[in-house]
Amino acid sequence: MSPAPYKNEPLTDYTKPANRKAMQTALATVAQELGREYPLVIGGEEITTPDKLYSYNPSRPSEVIGVFSKATPELAVRAIETAAKKFEDWKYVAPAKRADYLFKAAKLMRKRKFEFCAALTYEVGKSWGEADADTAEAIDFLEYYGREMLRYAQKQPIVKIKGEKNELVYIPLGVGVVVPPWNFALAILAGMTAAAVVAGNTVVLKPSSDSPYTGAKFFNLMREVGLPAGVINFVPGSGAAVGDILVAHPLTRFVSFTGSKEVGIHINELAAKVQPGQKWLKRVVAEMGGKDGIVVDDQCDLDGAAAATVASAFGFQGQKCSAASRAIVCEKVYDKFVAKVVERTKALTVGDPADQSTYMGPVVNKGSMDKILQYIETGVKEGGRIVAGGARADSDGWFVAPTVIADVKPSDTIALEEIFGPVLAIIKVKNFDEGLDVANNTEFGLTGGVWTKNKKKAEKAKQHFHVGNFYINRKITGAFVGVHPFGGFNMSGTDSKAGGRDYLLLFMQAKLMSEKIK
Ligand code: NAP
Ligand code: MG
């Protein structure tokens, strides 16, 4: 039976008392299981090691979310070998059956949605709305990639000729190393893993060291729906210590990575080196950072532009690869725009995201907080003017006040480097054309947008603004699976589109079969 047509998972309406109660109950229930120990799981075998990885609540850093056995180099190798062995039968499992595991997982995740949301709130500091969006996106990936696999399993169109029966089928690649970030601790981890697995590959999943608990929840969900042991091997551990071993192993066929530019470049280089005994060139799918800008024209709805900029800059504390970190504003409306952004920014609530009224929670860890504060200092040193925030927000946790720095020059450090925190740089330009040039003036090319009422300018921007996800008169975050296939250009990655029709091809190869007939 074919599944119903794909549609996006609706976001939760928290004005409804029943939904509020459900989230509160989930927060209380999940709080009960915090601090537990979790094993590595290789080929279905649960393994504990003496060296532990602790996940902490960034709102209250003394609160341990979970304790994880860290992989050793030997276990990393064993995980790859186990996945390679399992690949030999998983690759023959019918695509429809593989897709079915994803549909079952989506159904179960939907049923336990608030539990996943609560996990995200505790482990990475997501507000109720942000946690809900992350969970909905994870469900979407499962539903979407399941259907995509069914599409790729259908008869593929090729040109017919006389005297031959020709057929093209998509087959999997082999063992994949899946390395997700913590910022969409559920959605990206689930999406990357599900895509690889539904395409017929087996994987070693190394969750981010900042969010192994959410990763374990997803892994356990896949076990619950009966995914055979060894198809996903759950291997927490430090990226630096075991990441290289996983990436370099000669049995690794591909790496699916989402994270920073620096780590992406490193993985790409390491994977390119052919190891003794290796029989293929490894494929690397890397989705990396951004320095996303919004160009604000002098012919635009300034209130709308300010609201969209603030939402894009400070949603989930600016820790989205798509977050607006630069507002590039035409001089005619510059002062007015700055004032509107400041007013909205100062109205944002910062605090524990377990509290429904919180808009902005903490940043993910102390290292991240220190780095963000350092960037703010650099911004000021280079001539920027703090007009909102600018310091650690008053609390025990890793809170940074939403910060707006005006009068930033296009060549300043904070106009070029990814900060990955709640810091918006505002840059003044003469006109819209100069704004486009400044927008393109980084090594990244992930998201970007323009606010203008002028159709000609919008058309020009469509052509010249070199980003994978370009938006007009709306916020530049919040891509929906299937609706806004997501991924960037240049140093933002390998030009893949998560949640799009091309994505599964990255995890497969095409085999052509030709038979002589009478
Ligand atoms: P990160 O520091 O690069 O880490 C990402 C993952 O790589 C983590 O699981 C990390 O493990 C692992 N890792 C680190 N060193 C490794 C190595 N030598 N070999 C293999 N794996 C290694 O990035 P992050 O802080 O988690 O995420 C934020 C970044 O992701 C930002 O730059 C953001 O723009 C980007 N991002 C991009 C997209 C996109 O679609 N383009 C989406 C989301 C996020 P450990 O945690 O153990 O170090
Ligand atoms: Mg944490």
Return the pLDDT at 49.
98
Q: Determine the pLDDT at residue 518.
A: 86
Beta-strand relationship, 202-205 and 52-57: unpaired
Q: Which residues of the chain have pLDDT under 50?
A: none
For the purposes of burial, counting CB atoms within 10 Å of the CB of 50, is it exposed (0-12), middle (13-18) or buried (19 or more)? exposed
From 214, 321, 364, 398, mutation site for ligand 1 pocket: most ligand atoms within 8 A of C-beta: 321
Superfamily of chain region 18-288+496-513 = Aldehyde Dehydrogenase; Chain A, domain 1 (3.40.605.10)
Residue among 287, 300, 330, 418 flagged as catalytic: 287
Cα-Cα-Cα-Cα dihedral sign, residues 492, 495, 497, 498: negative
HSE (side-chain half, CA atoms, 13 Å) at 481: 31
pLDDT in tens, 249-284: 999 999 999 999 999 999 999 999 999 999 999 999
Backbone torsions φ then ψ of 333, nearest 5 degrees: -115, 10
Residue whose structure tokens are 């377990």: 354
Task: Give the integer Cα–Cα distance in Å for 484 and 243.
Answer: 30
Residue range 384-424, pLDDT digits in tens: 999 999 999 977 899 999 999 999 999 999 999 999 999 99
Residue showing tokens 């050793």: 72
* 56 Cα to the center of ligand 2, angstroms: 4
pLDDT score of 472 = 98
Check if 321 is active-site: yes
Ligand nearest to the CA of 491: 1
287 included as an active-site residue: yes
**Where do the domains of the chain lie?**
18-288+496-513, 292-479
Q: How many CA atoms lie within 13 A of 309 on its CB side?
A: 32
* Beta pairing partners, 283: 254
Residues 11-68 pLDDT 10s: 999 999 999 999 999 999 999 999 999 999 999 999 999 999 999 999 999 999 999 9
Ligand 1 lining (C-beta closer than 6 Å):
179-184, 188, 206, 208-210, 238-240, 243-244, 247, 258-260, 263, 266-267, 287-290, 321, 418, 420, 446, 487-488, 492-493
DSSP string, 118-172: HHHHHHH---HHHHHHHHHHHHHHHHHHHHHHHHHHSPPP----TTEEEEEEEEE
Class of domain 292-479: alpha beta
Which of 192, 211, 246, 263 is the best mutation target for the ligand 1 pocket, counting ligand atoms within 8 Å of the beta carbon and taking the most?
263
C-alpha triplet 6, 195, 475: angle, nearest 5°: 60
